[in-house]
Amino acid sequence: MSQQKLSFFETVMRFFDKAASFTAHPSGLLEQIMYCNSIYEFKFPLKHADKSYETIQAFRVEHSHHKLPVKGGIRYSGMVNADEVKALAALMTFKCALVDVPFGGAKGGIRIEPRNYDRDQLERITRRYTAELTKKNFIGPGVDVPAPDYGTGPAEMAWIADTYAAMTSSEGALDAAACVTGKPIEQGGIRGRIEATGNGVFYGVRHALTFADDMQKIGLAPGIEGKKIVVQGLGNVGYYAARFFQEAGAVIVAVSEYDGAIYNPNGLDVDLVQEHRKESGSILNFPGAKNFKNNLDALEYECDILVPAALERQITKANAPKIKAKIVAEAANGPTTAAAADILREKGTFIIPDMYLNAGGVTVSYFEWLKNLSHVRFGRISKRFEEASNRALLSTVERLTGKELSLEEKNYIAHGADEKDLVNSGLEETMINAYDDIRELSLRTEGVDDFRTAAFICAINKVAVSYMQLGIFP
């Protein structure tokens, strides 16, 4: 099958096949790792106020059971289909393995356009979806743990948790909050989860820019300050990634949304862009910026780093030759087709792959899951003790040196780690370690000419080890 005709799932499998050719695992094991274990597609009715009915199509795919529970978001989109959900579930398997999060991969989706439904309808859809998953044992703290994705957020996760708790036994209700992550803080969520994926994108790109030899190959100076960045998609992931880049000294020269795109070579303030969007309903006509004729034109704008943070298959064979970025940082799932990836590689563009770069969400979801099972907030036990110890140490230093620090300095140094501090520290550690693992493998594996292949090899090897430990394969 020619590359331009590959579906999303077939594209993922094409990347998988390339990486698998660099391993020595038996074909049977590779097939077990490659294909989806369970696919649940179902329909249910939604009754409208005029007493008419609409049939809602929904999916839940569990790609790999090499570790339990499986983990993966739920997206609400009019473009949801079985192929997309299978591809996203597969990516989740490899993503979790890559960052050493002990979950198998899964994904869910409901084929609706959320903006066409009111809050009551979305709640009824979400609760019915959860009820169907519960009846078929496709959800549970030790079975399958969903999370937010495109078109969903904390509200939907709270409805899922509440519905699951109502349908489970009194014994199971104790850990019911751990059946889903991305919940509101007040209902078992964790601080730092909302911005986690964007924060992970920032940590990953920032770390990549520290390797002077790698940057020299693509004509970039090390460091993030001053880098010109284009962000496609100003949703949760794109917005937070852009904000963290901006705070670190990068320049956001263009942003794109589904209804238009804007640019300013001198930089855009993403917070002001968001305010303008809330007031006007669009990012277009932002003061000081110019509108692109087509929102996809932003992908081809002059920049150092392109961050596709929208939907899959945005960089294709048609526009890849026109992309000028030195780095494509894949914040979205599957934004680059296989054909486009080949073109970019031939041009010398460095692609930081999605299965690594957007792993911040599942990493912090893992922390939330642990919090729900332990029933204690991170930092609650140690924060005050750490502060007291730090203040005692500061007092000793002041007494011995005769120099007194300002109150602001004392408070900064003495600060004990709270939940968000610990979450961000764990996320940063995870992203740095995973990047180093991928980079090391790419350097020592002859014939590996791109970071995505190296990432897939790392993930395949880790999943293979898990299956062998289970005794399924010798």
For residues 448, 451, 455, 456, the Cα torsion angle rounded to the nearest 10 degrees is -60
Encoded amino acid at 215, one letter: M
What is the model's pLDDT at position 449? Answer: 84
Residue 419: pLDDT above 50?
A: yes
Encoded amino acid at 338, one letter: A
Percentage of residues in the chain having pLDDT higher than 70? 98
What is the model's pLDDT at position 472? Answer: 66
> Confidence band (pLDDT; 50, 70, 90) for 2?
very low
Kindly write down the DSSP assignment for every residue of 305-323, as one continuous string. Answer: EEEE-S-SS-B-TTTGGG-
By CB atoms closer than 10 A (0-12, 13-18, 19+), residue 380 is: exposed
Class of domain 7-187 as given by CATH = alpha beta
Q: 294 or 44, which is more confident?
A: 44
What is the model's pLDDT at position 1? Answer: 43
Arithmetic mean of pLDDT, 272-283: 93
Arithmetic mean of pLDDT, 405-430: 89
What is the model's pLDDT at position 474? Answer: 56
End-to-end, the C-alpha distance of the chain in Å comes to: 33
Query: SS3 of 352, please?
Result: strand
CB atoms within 10 A of CB 35: 14
What is the model's pLDDT at position 424? Answer: 94
Could you list the active site residues?
A: 107
For residues 166, 169, 170, 174, the Cα torsion angle rounded to the nearest 10 degrees is -80
- From CA 56, how far away is CA 47, in angstroms rounded? 10
* 334 neighbors 91 (Cβ within 8 angstroms): yes
Kindly report, residue by residue over 28-83, the tens digit of the pLDDT.
999 999 999 999 999 999 999 999 999 999 999 999 999 999 999 999 999 999 99
Kindly report, residue by residue over 108-150, the tens digit of the pLDDT.
999 999 999 999 999 999 999 999 999 999 999 999 999 999 8
> Confidence band (pLDDT; 50, 70, 90) for 390?
confident
- From CA 449, how far away is CA 314, in angstroms rounded? 23
CA angle (112 as vertex; 110, 113 as ends), nearest 5: 135
Residue 381: pLDDT above 60?
A: yes
Domain ranges of the chain: 7-187
CB atoms within 10 A of CB 124: 16
CB atoms within 10 A of CB 472: 12
Residue 470: pLDDT above 80?
A: no
What is the model's pLDDT at position 224? Answer: 96
What is the model's pLDDT at position 405? Answer: 83
What is the model's pLDDT at position 385? Answer: 80
- From CA 450, how far away is CA 353, in angstroms rounded? 9
Arithmetic mean of pLDDT, 411-436: 92
Arithmetic mean of pLDDT, 200-213: 97
* Rounded (10°) angle between helices 360-374 and 196-208: 130
- Phi/psi at 144 (nearest 5 deg)? -155, 120
Residue 3: pLDDT above 90?
A: no
Residue 172: pLDDT above 70?
A: no
What is the model's pLDDT at position 4? Answer: 52
